Structure 1
Amino acid sequence: MNNQEAVLLKNMDNVKRMAFLELDLKYFIPVFVIVLVGAYTDTLPKGMIGALAFLMTFGAVLDYIGNKMPVVKDYLGGGPIITIFTSAALVYYSIFPKNIFLTVESFMKSGGFLDFYIAALIVGSILGMNRKLLIKAAIRYLPVIIGGLFLSIILTGIVGLLLGYGFTKSVFYIAIPIMGGGMGAGAVPLSQIFGQALNQNPTDLLSVMVPAVALGNAVAIVIGAFLNKLGKKYPNISGQGKLLKKFDNSIDVEKEEKVSDLKELGSGMVIALSFFIFGSILSKFIPMHAYALMIISVALVKGLNLVDKKYENYAAKWYQFIAKNFTSALLVGIGIAYTSLGQVIDAFTITYLILVLTTVVGAIIGTAVMGHFLGFYIVEASVTGGLCMANMGGTGDVAVLSSADRMELMPFAQISSRIGGAFMLILTSLLINLL
């Protein structure tokens, strides 16, 4: 057997092992064709059935393509970027009948799919964190994040003012979305918070925020590789994967119980939805967005240890189930219902790119300075507290830490994405009402 035959056989074997939605290719293709024909003939059922079928199948395909594309998968975030912008292009170029897009938009907005996903994401991720890690992070790590946020926001505002973009516009439409914890738990809820406070259409606001988040993610990945090289050249500023200089970096992670009964997922769902409803109730009496109040409630419950560990695990497992099965679907919905490709194209200017770069660099400098005074290594503080705040959430954390060769810092990266992103939602809810 020659080399060409060996490569061909290897490629054929890879095709056989391909799976979408955990379905082998020979099963997924008929499913995809059925949905595709239903979409083109405008016969997909209205409501949840048609919307979910379309979102999940197309999400799986687009995510796979994005994660296989050279350059895109390494520097631009891979699947999430391709999924969002390709979905937006479907609408922009009217690839399918208009009713399909209306069904998806209705499911995402009035149907509550977006709120359903965000409730699972926020409640499950916070309750699923190790309590000791949460408390220790709040004492030492959160000030590092706040230092990065402060300098990033102020610097971007000043540069925006000098470039004629405007201080407030630069802060709320570029800096805050980039530092807000990604798409699903960052830009999307931020657009709704802004829309409610400013009496504007969240879709229009999100169209300006999405390219900022995407570009911020790409810049963070590239700079992560640069910081890794910088740390090797100047060993005194790098812990080579260790965050704190004089303290034990290990975290005593509590072992989670395995879910032995599918009913436990149902319990996790109810817990997540209850916190969401509680946040909505509080918002009637407290002038803050329901998302922010939900975050505060969950963090207090976790910090005060008010819920049995097994129920925290139920919520965490529910979050993992939702994230694994519906994230790509949600990104398709974001592309269709919340992203105007025309407005995204209009947003790409030299000024816009400069402001995105300023946001990420400001986050790095702020976390480096604050981290130095609190006993953190500069490179590690900048990577976790800065770049992992400026990237696209969970997928961005993996990409940034991989480029920086510091995957062992994933727990702290997750704090940046989860707690730091949640802090941005709370801060934004307060600032938007003041300004």
Structure 2
Amino acid sequence: METLLQQMTGGQSPRRGVLIWLSLLCVVVIAAGCTGRLPAGMVGLIPFLMALGGVLNALGEHLDWVRNYLGGGPIVVIFGSSLLVATGGIPTELFTRIADFVRNQGFLALFISGLITGSLFGMDRRLLLRSALWYLPVVVGGVLGAITLAGLAGMLIGTGFVEAVFYVGLPIMGGGMGAGAVPLAEIFANISGSDAATVLSKMVPAVVLGNLVAIIAAGMLEKLGKIKPGLTGNGKLMKSQKAVRHEERVERIPDLAKMGTGLFVATSFYVVGYLLSHFISLHPYALMIFFVGLVKALGILPSRFEEGAALWGDFMVMSLTPALLACIGIGFTDLHQVAQMISLQYFILVVTTVMGAVLGAGLTGKILGFYPIEASVTAGLCMANMGGTGDVAVLSASRRMYLMPYAQISSRIGGSFILLLATALLGLM
């Protein structure tokens, strides 16, 4: 509970009376949710998700082996909340409300848009231009590593090179379900003359299990960075980047007017990306990143707007990350489906694909001046997860939330690259 309190109070040490009240409120809110007595709308969902995510996060941070080897709190939040769904601890009605809240009512878009604008507008302009130029080759390196190792593993265990690449490697690296596995299945079906539903049924297990393996791998990379400090920039992506001092960002005295400005800037730029997506066949997040990056590179936005966007992004990370992770566990992680798909051979293929992404992105990043762990997380694991929700989970497990813009480039633009690559490979075959 102390961890939850520190998140809610900006890192201050808890006092006994405050801790008691926080515990009581969490018990009341969680009990109301699990008994189906929450108020309608977000006024009921937000406190439930904050309480559940905060309590599970605190539990994960106090379990030494989970914190040291699996990423700590974020892992427990995701799997703990999904376990509550699988065991009936969360009623079906509440599950439906939470899934709709994060998918259709824009909670995920609000969170990611805040991180994108906050991270990009809080970044040095020269660094932004340089990293944008060299980042996409790192993504390609991760893809090549994943596909190569997946194919080799398929040959060794008897699945076959082609089968492993097309039904495990490419779907995992495709950027999720809606923008990855579904169009991949359609492409495969059109070229091969098979049924798209049958193809998709083979791909879905790889995408789901790959996402879970990527989250665990992110926690392990965070631990590796502590053991081998030379491999990580502790949040810096490039070696030429100035030190990222997160503690200074968190400890700034918030200017409430600037925070409101930041909320408006973040959501407005998301609207721009959404409108452009009607004319350009790219995801709104990808178009939003391009537009925000262009504005930042040109230096035309008033400094007050940039400061407000950075402040709003900090607020989202500090206050709502556990809540969003609880949403991911409840609405996007089906433990029954995971249990049905697990076999030793299949698990080996998935783990090998994810490790290929980590190694390929890390090695390419090192050559091009990136820190290997940050390159592996953003250009590797954020290609191997399930899009936006997977990005939040991976970056949270690796303690690198401020790299969200690069994670979104991997998920959105990298996902489009996978579709083109799959089309080209199928055409050759």
Unaligned runs of 5+ in 2: 187-195, 383-390, 424-429
Matching residue's letter, 2:177: S
What SS class does the counterpart of residue 40 from structure 2 fall into?
coil
Counterpart check, 1:21 vs 2:8: yes
CA distance, structure 2, for counterparts of residue 130 and residue 213 of structure 1:
31
- State the Cα distance separating 1:59 from its structure 2 match: 0.6
Partner of 2:409: 422
- State the Cα distance separating 1:208 from its structure 2 match: 5.2
Within-5 A mapping of 1:174-185: 174-176=172-174
Counterpart check, 1:315 vs 2:315: no
CA distance, structure 2, for counterparts of residue 17 and residue 335 of structure 1:
18
Partner of 2:427: none
What SS class does the counterpart of residue 43 from structure 1 fall into?
coil
Matching residue's letter, 1:311: F
Counterpart check, 1:251 vs 2:242: yes
Residue 64 of structure 1, aligned match among 58, 61, 68: 58
- Whether contact under 8 Å (1:301, 1:307) holds in the other structure is yes
Partner of 2:148: 155
Partner of 2:135: 142
Residue 372 of structure 2, aligned match among 361, 368, 382: 382
Q: CA distance change for structure 1 residues 326 and 15 in 2, over 3 Å: closer, same or farther? A: closer
- Whether contact under 8 Å (2:174, 2:418) holds in the other structure is no
Residue 106 of structure 1, aligned match among 100, 111, 122: 100
Partner of 2:32: 38
- State the Cα distance separating 1:268 from its structure 2 match: 0.8
- State the Cα distance separating 1:421 from its structure 2 match: 4.1
**Which sits farther off after the overlay, 87-96 or 100-109?**
100-109
Deviation string 1:215-272 (CA, Å, 9 cap, x unpaired) is 234345556777998x89xxxxx79979xxxx98463889989665312111111111
Deviation string 1:63-85 (CA, Å, 9 cap, x unpaired) is 11112213211111211111111
- Whether contact under 8 Å (2:98, 2:330) holds in the other structure is yes
Q: CA distance change for structure 1 residues 64 and 210 in 2, over 3 Å: closer, same or farther? A: farther
Matching residue's letter, 2:242: I
Q: CA distance change for structure 1 residues 20 and 241 in 2, over 3 Å: closer, same or farther? A: closer
Deviation string 1:380-414 (CA, Å, 9 cap, x unpaired) is 7433322554457688679769xxxxxxxx8xx96
- Whether contact under 8 Å (1:276, 1:291) holds in the other structure is yes
Partner of 1:171: 169
CA distance, structure 2, for counterparts of residue 206 and residue 114 of structure 1:
22
Deviation string 1:332-380 (CA, Å, 9 cap, x unpaired) is 1111111111112233332343234433543455356545755x5xxx7
- Whether contact under 8 Å (1:122, 1:418) holds in the other structure is yes
Matching residue's letter, 1:153: A
- State the Cα distance separating 1:101 from its structure 2 match: 1.7
Percentage of pairs with the same residue = 29
**Which sits farther off after the overlay, 191-200 or 48-57?**
191-200
Q: CA distance change for structure 1 residues 41 and 360 in 2, over 3 Å: closer, same or farther? A: closer
Matching residue's letter, 2:306: E
Unaligned runs of 5+ in 1: 1-13, 178-189, 233-237, 402-409
CA distance, structure 2, for counterparts of residue 56 and residue 25 of structure 1:
15
CA distance, structure 2, for counterparts of residue 276 and residue 160 of structure 1:
41
Deviation string 1:101-148 (CA, Å, 9 cap, x unpaired) is 222122222222122112112222222222222223234x52662353
CA distance, structure 1, for counterparts of residue 223 and residue 7 of structure 2:
31
CA distance, structure 1, for counterparts of residue 129 and residue 405 of structure 2:
14
- State the Cα distance separating 1:288 from its structure 2 match: 1.5
Counterpart check, 1:216 vs 2:237: no
**Which sits farther off after the overlay, 51-60 or 255-264?**
255-264
CA distance, structure 2, for counterparts of residue 174 and residue 16 of structure 1:
33
CA distance, structure 2, for counterparts of residue 130 and residue 144 of structure 1:
21
CA distance, structure 1, for counterparts of residue 409 and residue 96 of structure 2:
30
What SS class does the counterpart of residue 71 from structure 1 fall into?
helix
Partner of 2:385: none
CA distance, structure 2, for counterparts of residue 227 and residue 79 of structure 1:
18
- Whether contact under 8 Å (1:208, 1:344) holds in the other structure is no
- Whether contact under 8 Å (2:4, 2:57) holds in the other structure is no
Q: CA distance change for structure 1 residues 348 and 123 in 2, over 3 Å: closer, same or farther? A: farther
**TM-score (norm: length of structure 2):** 0.74
- State the Cα distance separating 1:160 from its structure 2 match: 6.5
Matching residue's letter, 1:418: P
Deviation string 1:269-313 (CA, Å, 9 cap, x unpaired) is 111111111111111111112222112222222222232233112
Q: CA RMSD in A?
A: 4.2
Counterpart check, 1:194 vs 2:184: no
**Which sits farther off after the overlay, 300-309 or 255-264?**
255-264
- State the Cα distance separating 1:317 from its structure 2 match: 1.0
CA distance, structure 2, for counterparts of residue 39 and residue 328 of structure 1:
17
Matching residue's letter, 1:296: F
CA distance, structure 1, for counterparts of residue 232 and residue 243 of structure 2:
21
- Whether contact under 8 Å (2:142, 2:359) holds in the other structure is no
Q: CA distance change for structure 1 residues 222 and 309 in 2, over 3 Å: closer, same or farther? A: same
Counterpart check, 1:116 vs 2:96: no
CA distance, structure 2, for counterparts of residue 37 and residue 176 of structure 1:
39
CA distance, structure 2, for counterparts of residue 278 and residue 63 of structure 1:
34
Residue 326 of structure 1, aligned match among 280, 295, 320: 320
Matching residue's letter, 1:313: E
